[in-house]
Amino acid sequence: MKRIIAGMLLMLWLAGCASTPADTINASGISIDHTVIPASAEVGVAVAAYAGFENSDGDDRLLGVECVCATSIELHRVVSDGDKVSMTNSFPLTLPAKGRVEVRPPGTPLHFMLIGTKRAFAVGERVPMRLRFERAGSVEAVFTVVGKSQDGWDAWTPD
| pLDDT tens figures, 26-72 | 767 899 999 999 999 999 999 999 999 999 989 999 999 999 999 99
pTM flag (> 0.85): no
List the one residue out of 52, 146, 48 whose CA is nearest residue 103: 52
Q: Kindly list the domain boundaries of the chain, sorted by start residue.
A: 22-155
Q: Which of residues 3 and 137 earns the better pLDDT score?
A: 137
Q: What is the spatial distance between Cα 138 and Cα 140, in angstroms, rounded to a whole number? A: 7
List the one residue out of 51, 44, 42 whose CA is nearest residue 23: 51
Q: What is the spatial distance between Cα 152 and Cα 50, in angstroms, rounded to a whole number? A: 10
Rg of the chain, C-alpha, whole Å: 17
The answer as to CATH 2.60.40.1890 being correct for domain 22-155 is yes
What is the helix, strand, coil percentage profile of the chain, to 5? 15, 50, 35
